[in-house]
Structure 1
Amino acid sequence: MRTEDVLAATATGLWRWDNTAGTVTLDAEAARLVDLPARDGVFREASVRARFHPVDWNEIYGVVNLAIAEDTLAEARLRIVDGDGRVLRTVRSRSKPLRVESVDGSTYVLVGTIQEVPEPQPGTAGAHTPITGDWRRSREAFLLDAGRALAEARSTEEVLRVAASLSMPGFSPDGLAVFGVAGDRLTIIGHHGQNMGDEDPFNDMPLETDYPAAEVVRTGRAIYLPSPEEYRRRFPVTWPLASRFGRRSWAFLPLIVSGRTMGAWMAGFRHPVSFSPDERSVLTTVARMLAQALARAGEAETERELSQGLQRSMMPTLDPDIPGMTVAARYVPTGGGLQVGGDWYDMIPLPNGRIALVIGDVQGHDVRAAGLMGQLRIALRAYASEGHSPDAVLSRASRFLSGLTDAYDDGKETGPRFATCLYAEADPETGTLDIARAGHPDPVVISSDGTAVIRQTGGGLPLGMETDTDYPTTRVVLQPGDTIMLCTDGLIETGGHDLTTGWDRLRPVLEQHTGDLEKLADALVQAVHGPTSHYTTGPLADRREDDIAVLVLRREAGPTKRAATRRTAMTVAQAEPERIAAARQQLRELLHDWSDPEQVDAAVLLISEITTNVLLHTDGDALMVVEVGTDRGRRCLRVEVTDGSDELPHKRRPGEMASSGRGLVLMQLLADAWGVEPRGAGKSIWFELYES
């Protein structure tokens, strides 16, 4: 008897569905079953598709994709309808998907049989209960939720926690295990539904072991065990390990990423599961999402570990044992790439017993910026350790960076990179800091009573802009209890702020946190980025827009308690008359909480007159020292302007049209006290105002 006759006698036909060509080849019986002319022939896919119920046609795609993924038969029950949509019969298809390479990519051809399925009589159970539309909707909703939750998981621990919480529609497992591969050994990445220690027999298992997860890793194919009997039959050696958990069904699926099997996923059930095509489809989809999530989490954890290693190697360990001083620092990367950018800080012990504080920012937020930063930091350490002054250190560093960026120039960038930097040589005994600045934001000095003032300092071009640049040095003196803050522009300008509005945002933070220096450093970062959660030398923020480096140094108060004092000093050079405006602004910031605005205006007018007279009538620079203290229960402002000329000013009576000669007259009218005193080879002009 011919095979064709046997197939026809059992109402079984043959078909071949070519997905690439869009054709379906049917024998006579298969054509009859799908309500086409009963003859052998090649039919257009559209004409065959019109004979299937639309819902069943949509299901067949998932079944075929599952069979391709698992390298198994594609089985489906399909309803055949007539032109009016009435169901004529139900058929079962069993086909083997065969991959075919084409110019459009990898596709497939289905080759198999199609057989009529008798409809069950009323009161009897059918061979297969059709999947309802409600179940399909539940499945789709579950997969959407599972995909979203797994996509948001940021670590392996979070991925495993999400996997354990998944509630699959109609057949939720009670136990899960995720296996990884280490060389030729099977390892346990995580598990749920078992007691601690239950994983020990399965951990570090050779891949040659007769165990379902090991076979899945070796072959890349899923294994479904619907009953204990099936488990015992297929894996008798390791059945005793699984029997003690009291489960009834198991599914072991490969975790595949980019064509490579990275592990296996086990789902165990305490109730029997038949693993229908729909159930296998759900499990396969979850396994794919789980594999992708684990791969992303692994890459992220590796990246974080590398970033933290780079941060630890590039960021110094601050010396907590500085006599009379306390220091704290924070480094916050942007969060892009390796989370290491061009910002840095450093603290360098110097040969003369002092310390150098360095903070800087190499242009860019990429790996090259981090590399340049590391080399520049080493160069600055070398120049500082040789005993050079702050201006000489920055001059040499600028020349070094200029040559370094020229060597890196490969034509892909518009020009060499530069770096801003602030270098301060601090004397712990006297509280003096000699500061040289290369295009970097000015430091901020916070007085012992909490008043924060931007301390304007002399500066030059950023490092690397020119090979020969001068960097003037400014001396800042910290009184006991004073704090100085050095930061990169990321702390000020993040969030759309400029230098002015960014300073307005930070000033209340500086003035409110006058106690613990570590809390002050945290508060500065939180003011920009919100709550912190990671650590280098202190907490790092999660949401990052620009690199941030911040360094705060405090001169500790002595054993004797003294009244809170605000103090600042500034040099106005003959060649820099524009710094008179900076002196006026600095005085206003120092008196920001003074009760009488008219007294503030008077003080600003007087300091402008005195410093201008020094520049006009002497050949030297003017040194301004401003101090706010307490005298007999009232706050007192004292301003001294010192110059190198021994010629004392004389009180004059300027006419109505005179352009000068009013300085001493104004002091007599506006100041509560004033005077002129010889000071070394020069003199000092001073005035005092008591807060009214």
Structure 2
Amino acid sequence: MRTGEPLPAVGEVLTALATGLWHWDTATELVTVDAEAARLLGLPARATTLTEAQARARLHPVDWNEIIGVVGLAVAESTLAEVRIRVMDEQGRVIRLVRSRSKPSYDRAHQSFRLIGTLQEVTEPTPGTPAGRSAVTGDWRRSREAFLLDAGRALAEARSTAEVLRVAAGLSMPGFSPDGLALFALEGDRLNLIGHHREQPGGPGDDEPLTHLALETDYPATEVVRTGRAVYLSTPEQYKARYPVTWPIAEPFGRQSWAFLPLTVAGRTLGAWMAGFAYPVAFTPDERAVLTTVARMLAQALSRAGAAETERALTDGLQRSMLPTLGPRIPGMDVAARYVPTGGGLQVGGDWYDMIPLPGGSRAGSGAGRIALVIGDVQGHDVRAAGLMGQLRIALRAYASEGHRPDAVLSRASRFLHGMTYGTPDGDDGSDLRFATCLYIEADPAGGTLDIARAGHPDPAIRMADGTVLSRATAGGLPLGIDPDADYPTTRIILEPGETMLLCTDGLIETGGHDLETGWQRIRTILEEHKGDLEELADALVQGVHGPSSHHTTGPLADRREDDIAVLLLSRPGPDGPTSPYPAVRRTVLSVAQAEPERVGVARQQLRELLHDWPSADQVDSAVLLVSEMLTNVLVHTDADALLIAEVRGEPGRRRMRIEVTDTSDDLPHKRSPGELASSGRGLVLVELLADSWGVEPRGEGKSIWFELYAPETGEAPDAPVSPDSP
């Protein structure tokens, strides 16, 4: 074309450049294409009008969905919509790759889009060349989709603002990755920098110019918050020209391109996100689409994290305001407690502990007054569970302060909780019935007497002065709130000098995927091996649950159980300090009622635990057999209950066990000579055969049958049997 000649028509130019024109109106759902655009779409080369369905049939389904997203983004940012599209034939095969560029507009009256654009074929680059590596192909799409999927998963798991910042700092976008990130939060009428990630420059004062920025400040992030529209700066010259006032803040970082995007949730702008690049970035529509998607995910993650942090602060304050302080030291006893909210959600639940001064003095005479120790767990991990826990704790304090015995305190508390749940609109039909497990102990520090009532709660455990740990079986009833007329029998035990009692909720036992058996073994190991004071032991128990090894489980992840933890420790110091290497006596006491024959098995188990380090396994088996015989004889031949007292005395090399079974029947047992087919009458025969010494002693009311076994290291029996009342 010579100089001065008229310019050719637009259509001639586009035809010469193999570029087609198209027009799409979503209100009419019609797409109009010229001859070249029709050819590129695999149609006859003539101008035609297609329905949306006909046009969509010529395009790859994934690319059609991408067009919708790019168009919406271009309208929001008032930019061109550019996208690469795979054209398909009737058999669903890709016949060419085309690039579409259009200027969309939005008709608010009809809530529709109108687009006028061009269509041009794109030649696939040769794999391995720079063009091939930078081209937007199907591989790039797959990389982008994988990146967005991973980023979304990581941000969805972030539970705090700090975690969101860590995830954002680790984002590696496909094809272009920022070397600097910053997050700004809108607080009132100011914008505040809440976190950043950068490599250079550094310095404690660098953040100061970006804290508490007024929204009128000439800065990209404030403009983004004011307008709700992203700002893209491809070169330092663009930044300096648009924001000369704040350019000196950005200049020292030496970056070449910046993207500032709004953080918007439900139409409300929460702040802004800055991504800075050490190399020039053109911010193509594909790149802008990725940045916009990440900004939306960041906004959602920050919104969730902020709400979660607020809830945690409120519920943690609620929970801890309901938990008591243990108060001053109790003469004759030491107490330590811990509470750890390990469950999910609101981090609030129904676990609690309490220590209550009781009216009156010591039952053993002068000295420290009696106290009540309470630990329990209301069903559920929500605010309602925490509220019920607070009310139940107050009720228990009231009943205890009135001077009721442990069984009466729990009976009244059960009636109270039953009325609380059934007395509400949600609980009239029992659909929202809540129950609570509880362990209530009335402790007399002067004599170490503990009267225990239990409502569906785990039994306490005793660590004896030499480190032996026993699970102390106690009588119990239903959890509180299930039956308003439930009974709660009382078990009395003596906490000997140097012994420590552990009370805990089931969270300590089962957290980390453990069941009751494996969880108890874990706790038992901690109790046996710990050598520190009571406070250190409380910390060791909690840390043992939360440590890496505590979360080992062979079952599926879905079966792992996490729960709140409450721990209460009660210790009676020995004469030589908290523990003595070998105490004068190691003792366990257990009652077996006529209506509880299953406790004979509990007695056998407790005896084995008591004799865990006895040198002769045969003697342990003999002792277990004789205890079973003696307890069964009481249940079968009398109408009385049985009381078992098992003791181990002496140091290694001169140890002796004494087993005594007492009942209130005055009928003395007699040794008999049963025939071969007799089903009974061998109890005393076995005692005489297996025991080193034994006897039957009448008491003021009832009798006592006892036997002793001597460890094989002694080589000889002691001079005389030792009375259970001897020191």
Which category of TM-score, normalised to the shorter sequence, fits these structures?
A: 0.7 to 0.9
Name the structure 2 match of 1:439.
456
Distance 2:86 2:628 in 1: 96
**C-alpha displacement at 1:181, in angstroms?**
0.5
Deviates more, 1:356-365 or 1:150-159: 150-159
Q: 1:177 to 1:532 in 2, by over 3 A?
A: farther
Name the structure 2 match of 1:220.
228
Listed one character per residue, the Cα deviations across residues 411-441 of structure 1 (whole Å, up to 9, x for unaligned) are 5753633222110012223222111112323
Give ranges in structure 2 of 5+ residues lacking alignment: 1-7, 124-130, 361-368, 552-559, 713-727
CA-based RMSD of the aligned residues comes to 4.3
Q: 1:676 to 1:227 in 2, by over 3 A?
A: same
Whether the 8 Å contact between 1:64 and 1:97 is mirrored in structure 2 is no
Q: Is 1:197 matched up with 2:205? A: yes
Distance 2:283 2:31 in 1: 29
Q: Is 1:469 matched up with 2:486? A: yes
Distance 1:585 1:547 in 2: 29
**C-alpha displacement at 1:482, in angstroms?**
1.4
**C-alpha displacement at 1:220, in angstroms?**
1.2
Return the match for 1:112 from 103, 113, 116.
Answer: 116
Distance 1:242 1:223 in 2: 15
Return the match for 1:483 from 466, 480, 500.
Answer: 500
Distance 1:169 1:58 in 2: 20
**C-alpha displacement at 1:270, in angstroms?**
4.0
Q: 1:683 to 1:266 in 2, by over 3 A?
A: same
Whether the 8 Å contact between 1:325 and 1:555 is mirrored in structure 2 is yes
Tell me, what secondary structure is at the counterpart of 1:301?
A: helix
Q: Is 1:628 matched up with 2:644? A: no
Name the structure 2 match of 1:186.
191
Amino acid aligned to 2:490: T
Name the structure 2 match of 1:323.
331
Amino acid aligned to 1:66: L
**C-alpha displacement at 1:559, in angstroms?**
2.4
Name the structure 2 match of 1:539.
none
**C-alpha displacement at 1:158, in angstroms?**
2.5
Name the structure 1 match of 2:406.
390
What TM-score do the two structures reach when normalised by structure 1? 0.82
Amino acid aligned to 2:195: G
Alignment of 1:432-581 (within 5 A): 432-492=449-509, 503=520, 506-513=523-530, 515-518=532-535, 520-521=537-538, 524=541, 530-531=547-548, 544-559=561-576, 561=580, 563-564=582-583, 565-573=585-593, 579-581=599-601
**C-alpha displacement at 1:109, in angstroms?**
2.3
Listed one character per residue, the Cα deviations across residues 137-188 of structure 1 (whole Å, up to 9, x for unaligned) are 6545544444444344333223222322334445433332111101111111
Listed one character per residue, the Cα deviations across residues 311-334 of structure 1 (whole Å, up to 9, x for unaligned) are 312333344723343333444546
Amino acid aligned to 2:482: M
Tell me, what secondary structure is at the counterpart of 1:312?
A: helix
Q: 1:164 to 1:91 in 2, by over 3 A?
A: closer
Q: 1:269 to 1:663 in 2, by over 3 A?
A: closer
Distance 1:283 1:446 in 2: 60
**C-alpha displacement at 1:215, in angstroms?**
1.5
Distance 1:481 1:589 in 2: 18
Q: 1:642 to 1:631 in 2, by over 3 A?
A: farther
Q: Is 1:176 matched up with 2:184? A: no
Name the structure 1 match of 2:32.
25
Distance 2:652 2:142 in 1: 82
Name the structure 2 match of 1:537.
none
User: Paired residues, what number?
Assistant: 666
Distance 1:610 1:230 in 2: 96
Whether the 8 Å contact between 1:438 and 1:460 is mirrored in structure 2 is yes
Q: Is 1:362 matched up with 2:381? A: no
Tell me, what secondary structure is at the counterpart of 2:413?
A: helix
Deviates more, 1:666-675 or 1:519-528: 519-528
Q: Is 1:376 matched up with 2:392? A: yes
Name the structure 1 match of 2:424.
408
Whether the 8 Å contact between 2:84 and 2:136 is mirrored in structure 1 is no
Q: 1:665 to 1:45 in 2, by over 3 A?
A: closer
**C-alpha displacement at 1:41, in angstroms?**
5.1
Return the match for 2:293 from 285, 307, 312.
Answer: 285
Q: 1:562 to 1:531 in 2, by over 3 A?
A: closer
Distance 2:588 2:435 in 1: 31
Distance 1:418 1:166 in 2: 47
Q: 1:325 to 1:250 in 2, by over 3 A?
A: same
**C-alpha displacement at 1:217, in angstroms?**
0.9
Whether the 8 Å contact between 2:448 and 2:496 is mirrored in structure 1 is yes
Amino acid aligned to 1:288: R
Distance 1:527 1:494 in 2: 10
Deviates more, 1:15-24 or 1:432-441: 15-24
Distance 1:182 1:479 in 2: 60
Q: 1:526 to 1:56 in 2, by over 3 A?
A: closer
Amino acid aligned to 2:80: L
Alignment of 1:61-76 (within 5 A): 63-75=70-82
Amino acid aligned to 1:486: L
Whether the 8 Å contact between 1:526 and 1:532 is mirrored in structure 2 is no
Distance 1:388 1:409 in 2: 31
Q: 1:363 to 1:174 in 2, by over 3 A?
A: closer
Alignment of 1:89-128 (within 5 A): 93-98=101-106, 108-114=112-118
**C-alpha displacement at 1:654, in angstroms?**
4.8
Alignment of 1:255-270 (within 5 A): 255-270=263-278
Tell me, what secondary structure is at the counterpart of 2:480?
A: coil
Amino acid aligned to 1:251: A
Whether the 8 Å contact between 1:80 and 1:91 is mirrored in structure 2 is no
Return the match for 2:257 from 249, 255, 266.
Answer: 249
Listed one character per residue, the Cα deviations across residues 45-91 of structure 1 (whole Å, up to 9, x for unaligned) are 4655688899987874553243144343324578999999887x987
Q: 1:663 to 1:185 in 2, by over 3 A?
A: same
**C-alpha displacement at 1:588, in angstroms?**
3.1
Whether the 8 Å contact between 2:674 and 2:682 is mirrored in structure 1 is no
Distance 2:288 2:479 in 1: 63
Deviates more, 1:254-263 or 1:156-165: 156-165
Distance 1:110 1:399 in 2: 70
Distance 2:520 2:61 in 1: 65
**C-alpha displacement at 1:224, in angstroms?**
1.2
Whether the 8 Å contact between 2:653 and 2:711 is mirrored in structure 1 is no
Q: Is 1:163 matched up with 2:191? A: no
Name the structure 2 match of 1:345.
353
Distance 1:650 1:75 in 2: 101
Distance 1:233 1:64 in 2: 29
**C-alpha displacement at 1:219, in angstroms?**
1.6
Q: 1:130 to 1:640 in 2, by over 3 A?
A: closer
Whether the 8 Å contact between 1:485 and 1:552 is mirrored in structure 2 is yes
Whether the 8 Å contact between 2:164 and 2:301 is mirrored in structure 1 is yes
Deviates more, 1:227-236 or 1:42-51: 42-51
Distance 1:571 1:627 in 2: 15
Deviates more, 1:458-467 or 1:135-144: 135-144
Q: Is 1:690 matched up with 2:710? A: yes
Distance 1:432 1:203 in 2: 62
What TM-score do the two structures reach when normalised by structure 2? 0.78
Amino acid aligned to 1:464: G
Amino acid aligned to 1:43: L
Distance 1:403 1:53 in 2: 64
Tell me, what secondary structure is at the counterpart of 1:394?
A: helix
Deviates more, 1:471-480 or 1:624-633: 624-633
**C-alpha displacement at 1:689, in angstroms?**
1.1
Q: What percentage of aligned pairs have identical amino acids?
A: 67
Whether the 8 Å contact between 2:646 and 2:660 is mirrored in structure 1 is yes
Tell me, what secondary structure is at the counterpart of 2:476?
A: coil
Amino acid aligned to 1:399: R
Whether the 8 Å contact between 1:568 and 1:625 is mirrored in structure 2 is yes
Distance 1:342 1:575 in 2: 33
